[in-house]
């Protein structure tokens, strides 16, 4: 298979091939770029290109940058690699090498090697493909392990003995599942068995790298496929034990609860159908995470999980911290959705009070649309009539919320009267009294006692202040905001 004309039509490949020829450096484009080219997943300007040369990858990168006259270059001498960014493209350069590993570490002992050595250390046959950029065989595809055949069969397989491949670099076990999920490929049986047998080796891999691969699985088109493979392999129990606790069905007196693990995977897939928001997908994963801790059986009520939304919300920071996920607004977003995910369901009835809608709008704030999306995804019954009825009721809830929001402007609620104004009117210092007055005003707005505007809130503030024995310093005059 030849790609000579393809290289000629690709500005970056042509540039690197020209420099390699001028400098007499044996060079190849390798890995994911070649794989995606054969799968027709990238064009001539694929953003990420990996190059292997016989010699110094850093020196080659410097010469390519000099020839192009643009771009920014970062070198990593300890690893013998360089990254050249030219506009929106990233070019990675490395010298061909061979590696050997110690049992207690995934950091290899690296030595200079040949292209064959470099291909031997690749994770999977479909990533061990290389295209020559050398003048004597420009565009020739090198496929020593049958990667093209595996691409056609849609198979993930290691180039060498999978037991050695995964023992040497355990992260490749999760990468196998990630590629399987992203490409919709099957993992070759011996390769998957080696993952099962080497699962405990994942403990020597840094949490950051594990989570990076986990997020890529979660962001795949059907994330349940990858998560189920992690579960079946035994890896999920090691890297994310909380979600594995959801698995299984318990039966008492003939009453069974649903398998909350597979329910969670279904909710995640439902979310993935219409959103590629990683954090909304994490909210789907964690929405029922506290059900094992709150599960109870009552002879009258059957199985209950009372308070799982509150406990689950409290569990989110600990899970994020352990998985090295960001402890920022994204975590708070997930925490909020876990806490509120049952609230819209409780509103699915004929007589919804405006105060209940205002309270939900206030608590969800700018995330109300994401919350409603999660709630819709959470309807996973096999009874189509039941699902359609719930979804229709959610339509009704959303319509009424829109009416309330247009009238009362609750969604991005800010107190009509500030703490500073309360202190000035009653001539008091900061403290619990100020907070209590603000809370009473907020509750009055939610309950519909007053409208969400300064004038009514100010008058209500004066009223409750006097009821609590406070004297008005500036009576009769509305203080402008």
Q: What is the mean pLDDT of residues 440-469?
A: 88
pLDDT category of residue 115 using cuts at 50, 70 and 90: confident
Whether residue 186 sits in one domain with residue 129: no
Let me know: does 239 contact 210? Beta carbons within 8 Å: yes
What tokens appear for 164 in the block?
């050695």
Q: State pLDDT tens for residues 67-105.
A: 999 999 999 988 889 999 998 899 999 998 866 555 555
Q: State pLDDT tens for residues 354-387.
A: 888 888 888 888 999 999 999 999 988 777 887 8
Determine the Cα angle at 432 with ends 431 and 437, to 5°: 110
Q: What is the mean pLDDT of residues 419-433?
A: 90
Residue 149 within any structural domain of the chain: yes
Residue 102 within any structural domain of the chain: yes
pLDDT category of residue 350 using cuts at 50, 70 and 90: low
Residue 95 within any structural domain of the chain: yes
**What is the DSSP secondary structure assignment for residue 352, as one 8-state letter?**
-
Residue 45's SS3 state is coil
Q: What is the mean pLDDT of residues 280-294?
A: 97
Whether residue 203 sits in one domain with residue 114: no
Whether residue 141 sits in one domain with residue 197: no
CATH of the domain at 220: 1.10.110.30
Q: State pLDDT tens for residues 157-192.
A: 999 999 988 988 999 999 999 999 999 999 999 999
Among 57-66, 115-124, 156-165, the least confident range: 115-124
Whether residue 187 sits in one domain with residue 125: no
Q: Give residue 172's pLDDT.
A: 96
Whether residue 14 sits in one domain with residue 145: yes
The number of folded domains in the chain is 3
Q: Give residue 47's pLDDT.
A: 77
Q: State which residues form the domain around 459.
A: 419-467
Whether residue 426 sits in one domain with residue 436: yes
pLDDT category of residue 479 using cuts at 50, 70 and 90: very low
> Looking up tokens 């490929």, which residue turns up?
185
Q: Has residue 108 got a pLDDT over 80?
A: no
Whether residue 175 sits in one domain with residue 147: no
Most confident of 40-49, 312-321, 376-385: 312-321
Q: At what angle do helices 171-183 and 223-233 cross, to 10 degrees?
A: 150
Residue 161 within any structural domain of the chain: yes
Residue 370 within any structural domain of the chain: no
Q: Which of 135, 153, 171 is the endpoint of a domain?
A: 153
pLDDT category of residue 282 using cuts at 50, 70 and 90: very high
Report the distance separating Cα 190 and Cα 158, nearest Å: 9
Q: Which residues contact 428 (CB under 8 A, 6 or more apart)?
A: 422, 434, 470
Whether residue 94 sits in one domain with residue 50: yes
Q: Give residue 146's pLDDT.
A: 94
Task: Give the sign of the dihedral formed by CA 37, CA 40, CA 46, CA 48.
Answer: negative
Whether residue 23 sits in one domain with residue 140: yes
Determine the Cα angle at 231 with ends 255 and 126, to 5°: 150
Q: Which of 153, 173, 190 is the endpoint of a domain?
A: 153
Secondary structure element (H or E) that encloses residue 375, with its range: helix 368-377
Q: Give residue 354's pLDDT.
A: 82
Q: Has residue 474 got a pLDDT over 60?
A: no
Whether residue 131 sits in one domain with residue 40: yes
Q: Has residue 107 got a pLDDT over 70?
A: no
Residue 276 within any structural domain of the chain: no
Let me know: does 425 contact 474? Beta carbons within 8 Å: yes
Q: Give residue 110's pLDDT.
A: 60
CATH of the domain at 141: 3.30.460.10
Q: Which of 114, 135, 153 is the endpoint of a domain?
A: 153
Whether residue 441 sits in one domain with residue 425: yes
Compute the mean pLDDT over every residue in the chain, rounded to the nearest whole number: 89
Whether residue 199 sits in one domain with residue 133: no
Residue 18 within any structural domain of the chain: yes
Residue 32 within any structural domain of the chain: yes
């Amino acid at each position: 298979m030849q790609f000579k004309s393809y290289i000629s039509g690709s500005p970056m490949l042509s540039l690197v091939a020209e420099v390699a020829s001028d400098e007499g450096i044996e060079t190849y484009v390798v890995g994911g770029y070649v794989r995606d080219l054969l799968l027709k997943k990238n064009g001539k300007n694929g953003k990420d290109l990996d190059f292997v040369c016989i010699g110094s990858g850093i020196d080659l990168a410097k010469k390519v940058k000099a020839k192009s006259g643009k771009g920014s270059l970062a070198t990593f001498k300890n690893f013998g690699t360089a990254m050249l960014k030219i506009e929106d493209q990233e070019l990675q350069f490395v010298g061909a090498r061979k590696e050997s590993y110690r049992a207690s570490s995934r950091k290899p002992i690296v030595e200079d090697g040949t292209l064959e050595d470099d291909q031997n250390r690749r994770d999977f046959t479909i990533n061990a493909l290389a295209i020559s950029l050398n003048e004597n065989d420009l565009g020739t595809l090198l496929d020593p392990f049958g990667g093209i055949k595996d691409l056609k069969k849609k198979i993930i397989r290691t180039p060498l003995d999978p037991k050695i491949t995964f023992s040497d670099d355990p992260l490749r076990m999760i990468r196998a599942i990630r590629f399987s999920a992203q490409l919709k490929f099957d993992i070759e049986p011996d390769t998957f068995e080696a993952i099962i047998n080497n699962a405990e080796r994942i403990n020597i891999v840094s949490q950051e790298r594990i989570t990076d691969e986990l997020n890529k699985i979660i962001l795949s088109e059907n994330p349940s496929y990858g998560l189920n493979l992690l579960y079946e392999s035994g890896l999920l129990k090691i890297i994310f034990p909380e979600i594995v606790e959801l698995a299984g069905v318990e039966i008492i007196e003939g009453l069974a609860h649903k398998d909350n693990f597979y329910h969670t995977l279904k909710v995640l897939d439902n979310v993935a159908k219409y959103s590629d928001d990683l954090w909304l997908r994490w909210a789907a994963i964690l929405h029922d995470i506290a059900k094992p801790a709150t599960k109870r059986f009552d002879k009258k009520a059957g199985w209950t999980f009372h308070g799982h939304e509150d406990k689950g919300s409290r569990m989110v920071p600990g899970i994020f911290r352990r998985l090295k996920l960001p402890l920022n607004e994204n975590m708070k977003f997930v925490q909020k959705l876990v806490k509120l995910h049952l609230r819209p369901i409780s509103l699915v009835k004929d007589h919804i009070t405006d105060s209940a809608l205002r309270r939900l709008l206030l608590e969800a704030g700018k995330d109300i649309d994401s919350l409603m999306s999660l709630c819709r995804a959470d309807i996973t019954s096999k009874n189509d009539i039941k699902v359609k009825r719930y979804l229709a009721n959610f339509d009704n809830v959303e319509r009424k919320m829109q009416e309330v929001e247009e009238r009362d402007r609750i969604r991005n609620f800010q107190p009509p009267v500030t703490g500073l104004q309360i202190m000035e009117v009653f001539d008091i210092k900061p403290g619990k009294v100020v907070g209590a007055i603000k809370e009473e005003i907020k509750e009055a707005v939610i309950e519909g006692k007053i409208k969400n505007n300064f004038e009514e809130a100010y008058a209500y503030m004066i009223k409750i202040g006097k009821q609590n024995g406070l004297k008005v310093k500036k009576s009769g005059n509305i203080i402008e905001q």
